[in-house]
Structure 1
């Protein structure tokens, strides 16, 4: 395997019309999903106004109170939207993938918290002005009201969740600790519900507002109950997945061979991942997002894991026969989601796992795919030998790039490749007429995407599998 060092003439590639149509439909569906999210916010405000919200505004105190009510409604609506995005609904996964859905979920977190904080502050000031008291006295009085202690508790829990989600803070916690804190968001929303339904006449019984909000709560928590708990429990019991063997691949890397019943009925596409839980004393409390490194058959499946901490390190020591639970499969890092007739692939380190299963599952003809495998040294060439043996890779070039990156230079390539004049377009001469699949460490993958965008590749043709949380 070698690298091209000079651009080849760009071939004119005719895109698959069927793939283009499916891609446009997914983009329209994604836009519709975003529109529905914001429409729910508009509906919350519109219903408040329809039931005479502005009619109550007669002075500064009532104006601040009305603003506090609106910020509370919008903030709560956004939190419920966040819960729906995190519920792993199959329709959301098929349209945008869990990676994109959770990115949107994270972006809504701070605005939602700021709105809830503004809700409490504006109402307190408004009530204080109306009563002729001060903010401290009014806060104490509000705390003694019906259900207000629960409302303040919910606010405190939301603050803890958002603070723990800030990247600088999040990285200080093991995943399991961060995840446990994040689950408090469910409790935060639930404990605030009695306050929302009982405070004033905003959501009075018999109003369409009350029906709307109850429906939102049912959608959010019903989705979580079904798709985060019920479906995984039923699926795990039905397929009875267990560890068949643990195969060392490289230092700190193992393949877990799994067995079960009718695993092909999971309908896993190559490139997807699942959330795995291994039921041993040392691992039962760890939930691991791990890609399939081979497409499941009726009786077998395989995942390949690199030790990145205590949780993943313990997976290399699980014993054959260990029971395994599964959530998923998830993800759109698949051949089905490409929009062109050609494929360009860049994989680094353990990022080879979804790439390997994606290529296994892809319907590729000779000349349709170009693959670049990246590693710092030979110890990171996990599963490389399997890529060339895949039937789909017959007649498709595979290149390797090994070596450290140059110091002080933001690049995804090795120093040796740069010195030879290698570029992303020299490796992939048909890049602009291809779908680019990138998988590896996030900062490294971002550099690949930067170069692809600089070459003119649109985001709709870029597919990324993230391995961070």
Structure 2
């Protein structure tokens, strides 16, 4: 059952319990977590190594060491900037390809976060590439930068290079928070697809410029292989695999259940859905094939672990796109990309489990709890809602907790107004902390799902309390 009494403050942490036989499972999770972290570090190192390789290829190419005068310095700096930028663009494509290996190691959310973080540096490098080369060529020819720019357009591939730069500029600007908020998802997504076009239209320029990519050289083969790999991964995992999965499992809507104002559970049926390999806490990218919804893909968590022929997602009306999902009819065909995400027990490394969910963030937490083999006292759940209308799936979650001997706390009320906090004003004044809610917090993996600003405040408190970053698992949404 859910404890309706509010969590109480603690003045000292609970004593650490003695080792039990089931602690062997915790040690196995710890070793698995260390291997996953090592693999993540290796991927980061490989990314930087690829950028270093781009520069190294230029250094070993004929003529790269014959730098003479200001024009030579500017030209060579422009070449290096362009090569590094191109390498990082291809890395961005790989990160956005939803490759299963990357999802298992770092999680799709983190991969996309890194993808976005590279956007501005790549744009600056591309702008520097164009500006430095133009200035270098102008200095060598004794002409002005404007005249040199006009002259460059006479080269067959340069208009495409400038077009690629312009497309990438539009993509990066559209991804800025201030701009993104003014665009509908459909418009933003359509603009973002221009990044693929930017890579393709710039390819002729790259393959025709410079001795580092001369015909017949192994350097040229290396870069072509990188293009084929990155674009191939996009084609396979963003297009081919989702089509195959959708045809194989033949997912259909069987019922739409209203569970609260603006919140519906969509019940799905299909073939061998347990073979999707979905774990509790993961999400899929869903596309509902109706006239009003087919063009909008929705990243939504499973709200229950799929069985052989049934699955369920629960959706809150957070905008025009998600509102339409509440009106889909039984029989509607559904396609799926995924499942994705490391918000699962696979990411655990500690003996205890702490789950915090707010609003519709209950969906992955409820599924994770269902999918976890727990012993009495191993897990504690905190359910957070602004008011009682936000208690989506709380009774289901409480029933799952009761079956495993887990504790469930409820915290209902608006966020504190006296200072930024994820708690209510009353709980804040009473001295409630994460440590008082979760008595084994420092020996726990903490899973947090809820609105972005609220989740960030929970994570800040957890880090201040001493929870290591690798034990904090976060899934946020924009509302």
**TM-score, with structure 1 as normaliser:** 0.98
Structure 1 residue 251 displacement after superposition: 0.2
Contact 1:30 1:96 in 2 (8 A): yes
Equivalent in the alignment of 1:167: 177
Matched, 1:77 2:80: no
SS at match of 1:301: strand
Equivalent in the alignment of 2:7: 4
1:329-356 CA deviation, whole Å, 9 max, x = no partner? 0000001211011101110000000000
Structure 1 residue 176 displacement after superposition: 1.6
Equivalent in the alignment of 1:333: 343
Match of 1:422 among 426, 432, 436: 432
Give unmatched runs, 5+ long, in structure 1.
Answer: none
SS at match of 1:31: helix
Matched, 1:394 2:404: yes
1:149-178 CA deviation, whole Å, 9 max, x = no partner? 100000000100010111111111111211
Looking at structure 2, the residues matched to 11 and 143 of structure 1 have their Cα atoms a distance apart, in angstroms, of 73
SS at match of 1:390: helix
Matched, 1:141 2:151: yes
Equivalent in the alignment of 1:37: 47
Looking at structure 1, the residues matched to 393 and 169 of structure 2 have their Cα atoms a distance apart, in angstroms, of 43
Equivalent in the alignment of 2:466: 456
Structure 1 residue 394 displacement after superposition: 2.7
Looking at structure 1, the residues matched to 263 and 373 of structure 2 have their Cα atoms a distance apart, in angstroms, of 29
Q: Which moved more, 1:458-467 or 1:350-359?
A: 458-467
1:164-195 CA deviation, whole Å, 9 max, x = no partner? 11111111111121111011000001100001
Structure 1 residue 264 displacement after superposition: 0.3
SS at match of 1:277: strand
Equivalent in the alignment of 1:349: 359
Contact 1:99 1:466 in 2 (8 A): no
Contact 1:442 1:468 in 2 (8 A): yes
SS at match of 1:271: coil
Equivalent in the alignment of 1:122: 132
Map 1:41-440; keep pairs closer than 5 Å. Answer: 41-390=51-400, 393-440=403-450
1:377-429 CA deviation, whole Å, 9 max, x = no partner? 10000000001211675311101000112224100001122233211111111
Contact 1:363 1:392 in 2 (8 A): no
Structure 1 residue 53 displacement after superposition: 4.7
Contact 1:436 1:461 in 2 (8 A): yes
Looking at structure 2, the residues matched to 232 and 53 of structure 1 have their Cα atoms a distance apart, in angstroms, of 47
Contact 1:405 1:415 in 2 (8 A): yes
SS at match of 2:321: helix
Looking at structure 2, the residues matched to 41 and 69 of structure 1 have their Cα atoms a distance apart, in angstroms, of 13
Looking at structure 2, the residues matched to 272 and 297 of structure 1 have their Cα atoms a distance apart, in angstroms, of 15
Looking at structure 1, the residues matched to 7 and 262 of structure 2 have their Cα atoms a distance apart, in angstroms, of 32
CA RMSD of aligned residues (A): 1.3
Equivalent in the alignment of 1:28: 38
Looking at structure 1, the residues matched to 346 and 373 of structure 2 have their Cα atoms a distance apart, in angstroms, of 9
Q: Which moved more, 1:102-111 or 1:271-280?
A: 102-111
**TM-score, with structure 2 as normaliser:** 0.96
Contact 1:3 1:427 in 2 (8 A): no
